[in-house]
Amino acid sequence: MLVMTLCIATNAYAEYLIGQGQFKSYAASDGTWKRVSVDEMYQFIGILLYMSVAQYSSYIRYWSKDGLYKLNPVQNIMSRRRFQSLLAFVQITPPADVDKSRYTCRSIVHVINQPAVQ
């Protein structure tokens, strides 16, 4: 459920900004946002976790074709452009769910406060 919330929030934020004419370089060829799916969000999170363990001098090296990095799985999972676009837009809650007066995120708090389903 939490990853689905990430997808909804990220898609809403990206569509809003791209619709406002910002970050057009992350839009698809037709000028729209390619919506992130739950599976793709898991891949994105996995890449971030991998990057925290296998640290290179630059994040661009994870997509390098150099033989030194040939065992790196990242380039086979997601393109660098898509990774950069998700990194630019990833959100925890949709803009409408943010309580700006107290800077609390109601959606994420609701998910965390729910008891774990066994």
Helix axes 106-113, 2-19, angle to 10 degrees: 170
User: 3-state DSSP call for residue 58?
Assistant: coil
Question: Residue 47: what pLDDT?
Answer: 95
**In the predicted model, is pLDDT for residue 85 greater than 60?**
yes
The model's pLDDT over 68-77, given as tens digits with 9 standing for 90+, comes to 887 889 999 9
Residue 106 near residue 97, CB atoms below 8 Å: yes
Question: Residue 67: what pLDDT?
Answer: 83
Question: Residue 98: what pLDDT?
Answer: 47
> Burial level of 55, CB count in 10 A (0-12/13-18/19+)?
exposed
| pLDDT above 70: percentage of residues in the chain | 79
Question: Residue 116: what pLDDT?
Answer: 54
Beta bridge pairs of residue 105: 98
Q: What is the mean pLDDT of residues 52-65?
A: 90
Q: What is the mean pLDDT of residues 96-102?
A: 50
Q: What is the mean pLDDT of residues 25-45?
A: 94
Q: What is the mean pLDDT of residues 99-105?
A: 46
